[in-house]
Amino acid sequence: MSDVAAPVEKPAYRSWFALLRATGAAGVASAVVIAMATLVAALGPALAPDSPFLGQLSYSYVGSIVGHPLGFDGQGRDLLSRLLVGARTSMVGPLAVVVLCVAVGTVLAVSAAWRRGAYDAFVSSGLDILFAFPGILLAILAATVFGAGLVAATLALSIAYTPYVARVLRGAALRERSQQYVAALEVQGASALSICLRHLIPNMLPLIVAQGTILFGYAMVDLAAISFLGLGVQPPNPDWGVMISENQSGVVQGYPLAALSAGICIVVVVVAFNILGERLYDQAQARRR
């Protein structure tokens, strides 16, 4: 009997590039925005036309002039320079949060999914208890205890977010665990650790990356909020959250650009992370089937 053509199967992703392309135009555009922001964060001071720290009060809130395309902030410092240099702290904080959460979350999730039983119950209950605790509250508490600063805030947020990440990953780990290839490997005598490291986690990677991307957006918003409150990055350091609080008075006086520009930077980058994260998540779900 002649063979009937089978419907086209979805190709497995052979590279991250293919995965990115699968997220569509919006996903790629977001990735570009993120790449640009990362570049700025990395190169910051080198790109700035002027010093972000030195300013002349007589220039306070002066608008755009030659050599200073965005004008000045409340303290007479070049706005563009402060925005460019501020990208660094605004992006590094969330990055640290994501790395910590994903690392700890993955370990907790995979170990709980693998061992199951009492260990899993214990970890899950522990996570559930901390699950919805607001990150900002913990950060404020941490600031009181350890003093204001980016480190304390970052650690606090990481602790607050990890239960959420761990819960999502645990679900995925459980699903992977029950796949047939895992049983096959176990029967062949592979150790739990090697199965997890070489098979389980790599198969969960698309989901982990998607989750991390979405998390970055949340962390960025929360950290900026904490800096806005004066409990995170401290002035005179340029940081988008700090800049909004510093220049808030300017808004009422009729000079909104300083505060607004920092706000726009935050929103643009967060939206990019949200869009990319959501698309990656959709891909991770679709691929599972």
Partner 1 sequence: MLVATLLVSSFIIFSALFIAPGNPIAVLSGGRTLPPESVKILEARYHLDDPFLTQYWLWLKGALHGDFGISIALRENVSTLIASRIGTTAALVLYASVLILVIGIGLGLVAGLRRGLLDTSVLAATAISAAIPSFVAAIVLILLFSVKLTVFPSLGNGRGVFGTIYHLTLPAVALAISSLAIVARVTRASVREEFEREHVQTAVSRGIPSRQLIRRHVLRNAAIPITTIAGITIASLIAIAAVVERAFGLNGLGAYLVAAANSKDFAVVQGISLVLVAAFVVVNLLVDLLYAVLDPRVDLGSRAL
Partner 2 sequence: MSETRASGDAIADLEALAPPALLEVGGLVVDLLVEGELRTVLHDISLTVQPGEALGLVGESGSGKSMTARAIDRLLPEGARVRGSIRFDGRDVMALSGSALRRYRGEVAMIFQDPRAHTNPVRRVGDFMTEALRTNAGVPRHEAEDRAVELLESVGIADGRRRLTQYPHELSGGLLQRAMIATALLTEPRLLLADEPTTALDVTTQAEVMAILDELRRELGLAMVFITHNLELAAAVCDRTVVMYAGQVVEVRSSALLHTDPLHPYTAALAAARPDIASTADRLLAISGRPLSAFEAPPDECAFAPRCPHVRDRCRECRPPLVELDGGRSRCVRAEELRGRLGVRPHG
Q: Would you tell me which residues interact with partner 2 (CB under 8 A)? A: 1-5, 7
Nearer Cβ to partner 1 (16/146): 146
Residues in the interface with partner 1 (CB under 8 A) total 42
CB 19 within 8 A of CB 206: yes
Nearer Cβ to partner 2 (4/118): 4
Nearer Cβ to partner 2 (4/193): 4
Q: What is the DSSP letter of 55?
A: -
Which of the choices partner 1, partner 2, none does residue 221 contact, using the CB cut-off of 5 to 8 A by kind?
partner 1
* Bridge partners for 68 per DSSP: 65
Of the candidate spans 29-37, 89-97, 199-207, 247-255, the one that interacts with partner 1 by CB under 8 A turns out to be 247-255
Both tokens of 123, joined, read: 């970890």
Name the one residue in this structure whose structure tokens are 């096959």.
184
Residue type, 254: G
Task: Rule CB under 8 A: say whether 224 interacts with partner 1.
Answer: yes
CB 61 within 8 A of CB 250: yes
Nearer Cβ to partner 1 (44/263): 263
| Sequence-ordered alpha helix ranges (H) in 132-256 | 135-146, 150-177, 180-187, 192-195, 201-228, 240-246, 248-253
254-283 positions binding partner 1, by CB under 8 A: 254, 256, 259-260, 263, 266-267, 270-271, 274-275
Task: Rule CB under 8 A: say whether 135 interacts with partner 1.
Answer: yes
175: left (phi over 0), alpha (psi -120 to 50) or beta: alpha
Whole-angstrom Cα distance, residue 240 to residue 261?
9
Binding site for partner 1 (CB under 8 A): 125, 128-130, 132-137, 140-141, 143-146, 148, 217, 221, 224-225, 228-231, 241, 244-245, 248, 251-252, 254, 256, 259-260, 263, 266-267, 270-271, 274-275
